[in-house]
Amino acid sequence: MFKIFKNIDRKNYKPRFGGSDIFKFIGPGLLVTVGFIDPGNWASNLAAGAEYGYALLWMVTLSTIMLILLQHNVAHLGIATGLCLSEAAAIHIKPAYSKVLLSSAMLASVSTSLAEILGGAIALDMLFDIPVKAGAILVTLFSMIMLYTNTYRMVEKWIIAFVSVIGLSFMYELSLVDIDWNSAINGWVTPSFPKGSMIIIMSVLGAVVMPHNLFLHSEVIQSRQWNREDEKVIRKQLRFEFTDTLLSMGIGWGINSAMILLAAATFFMTRTPVNELEQANQLLAPLLGTHAAVVFAVALLFSGIASTITSGMAAGSIFAGMYKEPYDIKDNHSRLGVALSLVIAFGIILLITNPFQGLIISQMILSIQLPFTIFLQVYLTSSEKVMGKYKNSTLNKTILYSLGAIVTGLNVALFVSLF
């Protein structure tokens, strides 16, 4: 179990669940949200708005719904069993299979860290003209220091602050432009497939669910864990967790929507295609002023750092789980897992000559691994042996497997489109 409140007698401790207690549960979902607004999503969102205006906003709505269902399900695993996804796999799956699955998840975490570090490095280049590789060193070091020297609670507070900065940055950006809100509202709820848009649609929908976030959520949700022997407490936890997930994913929906709205109101109106983050930053200055470009880069920097931190934390959880242990930054397995993900990702960045190509390769690896994580999760949460009375109902299992098949199909299509 998550070693945060190890001095609390969980068996006899019963928390109060008053109206204000819901705020005590807000936090774990926001760590997951960071993966939903990481640098890997920025380019796709900006390209969607620049090329198709408000027409593809429905992708954000659909992807958020998919994310809520999957993340709630994996958080359900953590609350009901006291195990993260990695621990549950190591305990309930045959070692020959679990080792392969969890090793592939570690590889995916390296790919995720590579994309997040690159995003932060690109932002440093935008702001201070720091070369990308030098910026990668700074992002990696800062993220490792944050993880190794802070408790989970402190990291969570930092992440909430980072997400707040990102959200406020886009609110400022949107205040500078004229949004066609009628078109935006229609775009959010009406699916459309403009000519040539399928690649962007697949990239946004296919990349929204990330393997490391499924492992991470099942771990960090246990920071709010009390007395698993009391069924009433568990059911209240499940309700409060869903509120946290719903609120956090809603914030992610808002920020991703803001990216498309900004691009639609600036680049689409001037018929300026945007395919790279650096290009978007350069084009914002003449359209909205230097301050807007700086705010854009600052938001990207906070996004890169925050997502690098959560990617490292997820890797620590996966690696510790392979040894049937919970994430604890003071434990050697957790520390080693964090280091493996961030250091290997940084090493790869030093070797690649084209950062954009590096991002593409990282997304390919995620596309290949994601189906294994989703179906592992649904298998475990549907098992009575693992979940007991809290296992998925037949309806939930059908929905989750169908959702897994859809996400898998989108990722396979994205993978194929890259060739």
**H-helix segments, 382-393:** 384-387
Residue 34 pLDDT > 80: yes
Residue 233 pLDDT > 80: no
> So what's the pLDDT on residue 322?
96
- Please give the share of the chain, as a percent, with pLDDT higher than 70: 89
348-377 burial, b at 16+ Cβ within 10 Å, e below that, comes to bbeebeebeebbebbbbbbbbbbbbbbbbb
Residue 189 pLDDT > 50: yes
pLDDT band at 278 (very low <50, low <70, confident <90, very high): confident
Residue 6 pLDDT > 80: no
> So what's the pLDDT on residue 269?
86
Q: What is the pLDDT of residues 79-102, one digit of tens each?
A: 889 899 999 999 999 999 999 999
> So what's the pLDDT on residue 411?
76
> So what's the pLDDT on residue 229?
63
pLDDT band at 419 (very low <50, low <70, confident <90, very high): low
- Report the phi/psi class of residue 149: left, alpha or beta, with left for phi > 0 and alpha for psi in -120 to 50: alpha
> So what's the pLDDT on residue 100?
95
Residue 7 pLDDT > 50: no
Q: What is the pLDDT of residues 47-67, one digit of tens each?
A: 889 999 999 999 999 989 999
315-330 burial, b at 16+ Cβ within 10 Å, e below that, comes to bbbbbbbbeebbbbbe
**Residue 363 near residue 115 (C-beta atoms within 8 A):** yes
Q: Look at 68-72, 335-339, 349-353 and tell me which has the smallest mean pLDDT.
A: 349-353
pLDDT band at 201 (very low <50, low <70, confident <90, very high): confident
Average pLDDT, the chain: 86
Domain boundaries, the chain: 38-417
Name, of 167-171, 200-204, 335-339, the range with top average pLDDT: 335-339
- Please give the share of the chain, as a percent, with pLDDT higher than 90: 55
Query: Is the CA virtual torsion 61, 63, 64, 66 positive or negative?
Result: positive
How far, in Å, CA of 388 to CA of 1, rounded? 18
| DSSP output for 327-367 | --TTSHHHHHHHHHHHHHHHHHHHH-S-HHHHHHHHHHHHH
How far, in Å, CA of 150 to CA of 338, rounded? 14
Has domain 38-417 been given CATH number 3.50.50.100?
A: no
Look at the pTM and tell me if it is higher than 0.75.
yes
Residue 377 pLDDT > 70: yes
> So what's the pLDDT on residue 93?
95
Between 293 and 367, residue with greater pLDDT: 293
> So what's the pLDDT on residue 150?
85
